[in-house]
Every structure is written in C-alpha cells, then in structure tokens.
Structure 1
Amino acid sequence: MNHKLKGVLLVLLSGLFYTYNTQAQTVNDSKFGKGLHFVAADSSFSLKFGTRFQLLYQGGNTPATGNWDDRFLIRRARLKFDGFAFSPRLEYKIELGLSNSDIGSDVPDLTNNADNIILDAVAKWHLTPNLQLWVGQTKLPGNRERVVSSQKLQFVDRSLLNSRFNLDRDAGLQLHHEHQLGQVVLREIGSISMGEGRDITVNNTGGYDYTARFEVLPFGAFKGGGDYVGSDIEREQTPKLSLATSFDYNSNAGRDQGQLGDFLSDTRSLRTWFVDAMFKYRGFSAMGEYANRKATDGPVVLRDELGDVAETFVTGTALNLQAGYLLPSNWELAARYTDFNPTTVTGIRQQDQYTLGVSKYIVGHSLKVQSDITLIQEASREDRTQFRLQMELAL
C-alpha cells in the first residue's frame, strides 16, 4: 500500500473515531450489516460508515496442459460512507475500493494505486420529492446487473454480458425521476458524463457520454428495493416485475469498452442498447438482460502487418438469463446462461457460459457463502470448467 493510500485511510479513520468519541450519544439503529450511524447534535449532518470484503477461491482446468489452476484472493474490499449534509435533502455517498481487483488490476505493478481507489463520490440533491440531481462519480444508469451492488449478487460475480458491455462508473450529472400511476411505478433517469470511466485525471480524449433509462414496475415497488437485489431475500408475497430499457451514446470514446479497457490509438462513437427485466415471487427470482453495442466507422482501429486485429473496440450482442429459488432454510439454488456474440470483424471469440450456483444466506447479503461452477464454451477452443467459492462479510 503506497503512502498516498495510507494517508487517505488514516484521515478517514481518524475522522470516524473522532466523530464516535465526540458524538457517541447520537449513534442510532446500528446493527450487523447496517454499518455505524452518527447524527450531529444539531442535526446538521449524518454519517453512516460500513465496510465489507469478499474472500474468493477460484479454480479451473486448462485443456492445453491438463492442469487445474487455482488461486485465493481478496476479490473486493470496500469502505463506504454516506448520509446527509446541511439538510436531509442533500445526501452524499463515498465508496473506496482497496483490493487490487477494486483498483483495476490483478497485477500489483500495473495498478495505479491510490489513483483508482475512489469508486463513488457523489452528492444527491432532492429537488422535489420525486426528482433528484446527482453530481459526481457513480454508476451510470445502464444494465440492471451492473447497478446491482456486488454485495447483493445472486452468483459469485456478474455475468459475461456485464463484463463486456456494462457502462460502469463515470463522472458527471444525473437526473432521477419517479412517479406513480395507480400501482404502476415509472422511473426516468438521464445522465451526461465524461465517457472515460472513473477517476480519470487526464484531459478528455473524445466527447461526452449520454445515457437514458426508463423503468416500468407494473405491480408496484419491490420490498427493500428488491428490483436491484439478487435473489428474493424479501420473499415477495405478491408477484413483482420490473421492465427497463437503457440507451447510451459515448461520443468519440477512447477506451475499447467505453468507460473500461485500454485506451486505443483512435476513437469511435459507441451506441449501446440494453433491455432487462426482474421478476420475484415467494422466493423465486428471475432476471434477463440483452445488450447490443455498435461503433461508428466500424470497431477495428488498427491491424498489424499480417492483417490481424491489433486494436479494436468491443462490440456485438449478448444475452444473459438467470433464475433461482430461495428455500425456507435460506439455501438457494440458481442457474445462469450467458451468450456473448462479438462483431465478427473484431476477431474476438464467441462464448457461451452455463453456470450452476449454490448459496447460503446467513444474514441476508451481509454474511453469506456462495459457490458456482461454470462450463465455458469458446469458439475454436476446448471447453473448460471454472469453480468458485466465496464468502461475503459486510458490517
């Protein structure tokens, strides 16, 4: 851990313990999985502090060698701060990622260390009871699976659709609006952002990113925001459904996945469509997503002297379908199918994944053990199998 990161953590933790010592009488409603809550004596601000981590074992066969390759790692390690400032109408959220995977690389020498520890830093102003303005860095309103917190996933991690096409985090402005017609809930979200991902400190290499999302919940709101929670933890007593579509236009994107990936030697404008749905009823849950991304002037940026693709944007389509049933004992069985079809000219291999998962929820998503096994079928390669076992602990 470098000196800059140590300094950031020292300041944050010192402030937290100072607040605890001077305002201990204002702690309220603190319990396992919900973090520590503080409210200033004059009610001028509030602070909730939480932390969590994921311990992961991952192994898989390598057909070329016949070996079983595996590893243990800290998949995620997070510090989270949120509350209100000056007025309950002005909320904030700060989330820091501390593991190498959070920072952006599994290889320590290739990480940017403290330059990428900031995941979220956003202020949310309630303009009216139904309209919010968000300012700062946070997740864009893209596909549902990406907006679902990594703490609240149904499987050990998100799908291949998400890893190839998600919009991830970006810095800018977002407007969130919600209203109701009878029992039907309608949500509209729009954003304008930089288009190059989180914590970019260099000049913008291209244009801006524009995202719009529309959601319909025909049977009313889910309990506990369950339309963005994996598994039917709340055990909905009446059927609940959310249908949504998102469109994103990233003007002159500089990275091969828009907000993620390598910076390329030329830019392309990317158009991405998402359609997704979430359904829950009495322990049963199902989620589906479709993604479609195209690049203006074609995705390939550079070819080598042999004519092979050297640089390309990731474009194409993907479909992800998953479902699970949560037993009364809080064990869950789940299955997922993901199909990734990249644009042929990119030279990226088509891939299908079939996943079976088993989870035990001890304290909801705050303390759980999850495992899954995946059959990976990739064009022009032998089938391979991946096994994962993960524990989540959130305070």
Structure 2
Amino acid sequence: MARSPVWASRSKTRGVVLDVIRAARTISRVELAAATGLTGATISEVVRELLGDGLVVETGRGAPTGGKPRTLVQLNPSARYGVGVQLERNACVIVVVDLAGHPVARTSFRGVSSMPPEQALPLVASRVDALLTTAAVEREKVLGVGLVSYGPQDRRAGVLLTPQPTDEWRDHPVAPHLAECLGLPVLLDNDAAAAAIGEYWMGAVDPSSTYGCIYMATGIGGGVVVAGEVYRGSTSNTAEIGHISMDVHGDECPCGNVGCLENYAGPSALVRQALETPGLARRLALDPDADDFLTEFARIAAAANAGDPEARALVERSARYLGHAAVTVAVLFDLDVIVLAGASFAVAGSIYQAVIQRELDRRLFARRAHSVRVVPSVNGSDAAAIGGAVLVLQSELTLGRGRPGIGARPVPVGAGEAP
C-alpha cells in the first residue's frame, strides 16, 4: 500500500531525529536542531511524538551553559526489538536485539544444512518463538526478523538464488515462508551487508564515514556502507569479494568465475591446504571427511596463534590474499575503515588484521592522502545475526521505509518505495 507524501516526509523526519539520538546516546533538543538543521519547533514536535510512542525517554539535564539546563533525551532500548537469524552452511544463530542494538538473547543450533527448507524454516521459527519467550520480550514490540545468509539473493522476493546449503534451497521463498511460520515480517539480506551495518548502529564507526566490511565464516563476503546506508547496486549483490578473481588462469569456481579469492583464502581452502600438509594434518587431527569447515579451520587458527610454523604460514598466506582484495575494494570505494567480521575472524583475527593492514599501508593507491584502518568487529562471531536484527530496526525506524504502527512489514533497505 502506497503512503501519502505527507506521511513519507514525516516518517523520514522522525527517522532522521531518531537516528541522531541513537548516534549521540544522549542529546538535548537544541543540539538535535543543530545536528539535523530542523527548526526548534519541528524538533519539539517530533521529540514529543517519539516520547509519546515510547521510543525515547528524557534522562535528566545537561551541564549548565549560562541559562536553564537543557533536558536530555535518549533511546528507550526496551521500546522495540528486532530479531536476527543467520543461516550458515552448518549452523543457525538467532539473536534478539533491543532498540539500541544490544543483544538481549541468543541461541544457536546445528543441522539446518541437512534439512530441506520446508523442514528447516518451521524449526527456525519455533526457536525464535522460544527465544522471545525465554527473554520475556513482548511480541508486539518485535518489529520483524532479519534473515541473513549468503548470496546471490533476490531481496525483494525474499528468495535465495544459490544452491546452498543444498540444491533444495535454490529459488525457495525463504523470507515469505519464515514470515508465514512466525506471523512476523521477515527481511532477507546478505550476511556481509548485515554485519557491516551492525557496526554503524553500534557506534563503532564514524557515522559520516565510508567503510567496508570483510565477512568470513565458511565463505568470504563483503559490504560497503556510505553515510549509514549499505551500498546496494542494481540487485544488492555488491562487494562479493570472495568472488573477485585472484588468478585469471585459476580453477573455475562454482559461481562461474575463475581463480576466485574464496578458493585460495577461505576456510575450506585452508582446510584443504592443511590436509595436503601431512605433518600438520596429523598434529591437528584434521578430519578429511568433515563437512564442518569452521571447526577444522578453528583448529588451524588455534595452532597458528600458538606459534605452529606450518599453520601460521597457511593463515598468513590466506591473509595476504585477503589483503590484496582489501586493497581492491578500498581503491574502488575510497574507504576510511575496513571491519573484519564473522566467525573465522573471531578465531584468527589478530593475524589477519596485522597482515591486511600491512598490505593496505604498502599498496593502497591513496595511501599518501589518507590511511585505511583495519579493525575487528565489535559484534564478534555474531556480527551477521546482530546486523540482521539491526537492518529491521533501521528499515522500520530510521529510514522511514516502514508503515506506521508496531508490527508493520519492513521494506528492505535500499529497495525504495513509491510515496
């Protein structure tokens, strides 16, 4: 249903004000007017509405400035919630996040990859319901569910366009199916894009910056955020650095390209390389038949962190490949920061951070104009799941894309909507 121009404008104004309050943590109405460029009268009216909706609360007074101390406002974290669901090749992570972006509940379980979507998605829905009950979160305060997974995707239709974890998942309407099971709106997005926007919401990056996120779990993905919004491109399948070609003469990748980064630097590649190193494979008791690459990769990373020279050499080789890709993305988008997120970086992040930073410092085209910092995600291994929940909150509350009222269906960020 289309919205009137008046509602669209009003919703966006509310979103701007709410986002400034979120970023500032606590702020006065006068400071809000200065930060947004809106008039004092407009700020007063919008803040009054936000107070009435319970989205913000007054929280004492600021320091005296020569006149009457100004009343401060801040987000009311318990006013609304988002749920993030990350579907990985071997596991599912579910988080409940409050309006401030802080996780209030979490669960995870394995086995999703062995099930068809008709069986797996009802199971996911039952786990979401159980988690909300355990966390004592009122369902009417839940704005929706951010379902994040690998690409490519059709975000508008809520469909995965990849045969992962099995062929049965390709072209399955995962978002509509999960929404039907839950009775809640579901937004489908890329796990790397979700991880990237989660950093912004948590205040880990400068709100005006342009930054990239390299996401590594069982695979490698990427996202770019410009002034608080994910760069989408024509179909929102952007910055997929795992499928940047590192070797034009390399092996063909299932994606159709040749010599893809993921085939040289991803966790499955490192496990394969370690298995081809007999002494290392024996020392780490690697299982050649295992399909859980994250567990096997974690053994290699732990050995590298402990100083095993062969394990260290493999991880550093992977990191150099990722550094090459990071330079490419930084040149394309003129980035300020690159965030490393995902389960694989959570176990080997210090090695990757140092090597990628060294590659950027040495090879970046714009290095004399500005440096690019490499930093770990503030959300750790759950970055994608937390980011999925945050995308729901952002879509509904700060970008003015959702319809009025609690429980309205979020419109995917970047999809646009006619006024």
Q: Same fold (TM over 0.5)?
A: no
* Structure ranking higher in strand proportion: 1
Higher relative contact order (CA 8 A, sep 6+): 2
Please tell me the TM-score bracket, short chain as reference: under 0.3
TM-score normalized with structure 2 length: 0.24
TM-score normalized with structure 1 length: 0.26
* Structure ranking higher in helix proportion: 2
